[in-house]
Amino acid sequence: MPARATDARRAAVLGKPIAHSLSPVLHRAAYDELGLTGWSYDRFEVDEAGLPGFFEKLGPEWAGLSLTMPLKRAVIPLLDEISETASSVDAVNTVVFTEDGRRIGDNTDIPGMVAALREHGIEQVDSAAVLGAGATASSALAALARICTGEVVAYVRSEARAAEMRQWGERLDVEVRTAEWADAEQALLAPLVIATTPAGTTDALAAAVPERPTTLFDVLYDPWPTELAARWSMFGGAVVGGLDLLVHQAVLQVEQMTGRACVPLEAMRRAGEKALAAR
């Protein structure tokens, strides 16, 4: 049932650290545009040990939660049900509380990635490269399972990480080949490159951007642009950024938590851009 504007409802983002999160900016912008004057969205620093206690204190006014690291897997035992998308990567970034008190988990990162790529005209690719092998890399593989018809090459720093990525490929039905990080410059020749590494990790690759780059999806948004993204854009390549992902996955969260359709993506993006500029 769609939420009424006067309903006093709460939502929040949890994680540790959490002060950097843009989620409150994006969700509040959506509430303003939708006229949900009774809604609030906050942030709470919560780690794995504190998560069960946080859940125990939630009242009926709570509509949902956004989850960031390190809680995306830790939350699963506390839920009544998780979506097929969340189950595919063992990661939940969205919890919705139903009227009958059930806790439903979902993952909006994966469809958010697909939507961000689609917005930039990427509907399908015949191959791709992934830089990194962490939790975001597994979500990237899940997104590629929906749009990539051929091989995905994952560039990683250790054989343990390589084995993990191959296992994720088997689980998600994606053809994954792994390569050493020392050869990561070769990734930049792929039709689609998804960078999932922490800030600064890909800076050394900027000098290797080809003369005619294709599409780079860099999941970072602060600092932005990364050196790789800046160089990619300078050479005329298409760049999808972390804010694109953040906004698209947040739109899906707002839809689920409020029951509203037509969530104002552009207003949320403007709010995010303004907040980042202020930093």
Backbone angles phi, psi at 9, to 5 degrees: -125, 155
The SS3 call for residue 113 is helix
Residue 93 amino acid letter: N
116, 131, 123: which is closest to 183 by C-alpha?
131
Strand order in the sheet with 238-240: 176-180, 152-156, 128-131, 192-195, 215-218, 238-240
Structural tokens at position 245: 């992902």
Following CA atoms 242, 247, 252, 257 in sequence, which dihedral angle do they give, to the nearest 10 degrees?
120
Structural tokens at position 256: 């689920």
Following CA atoms 207, 134, 158, 160 in sequence, which dihedral angle do they give, to the nearest 10 degrees?
-160
Please state, in angstroms and rounded to a whole number, the distance separating the CA atoms of residues 181 and 233.
23
Burial 10-48 (b: 16+ CB within 10 A, else e): bbbbbbbebeebbbbbbbbbbbebbebeebbbebeebee
Query: Residues 16, 57, 72, 274: which is the catalytic one?
Result: 72
Please state, in angstroms and rounded to a whole number, the distance separating the CA atoms of residues 253 and 240.
20
Sign of the alpha-carbon dihedral angle for 230, 198, 21, 169: positive
Q: Catalytic residue at 72?
A: yes
Please state, in angstroms and rounded to a whole number, the distance separating the CA atoms of residues 6 and 11.
15
Residue 247 amino acid letter: V
Please state, in angstroms and rounded to a whole number, the distance separating the CA atoms of residues 140 and 19.
25
Which residues are part of the catalytic machinery?
A: 72
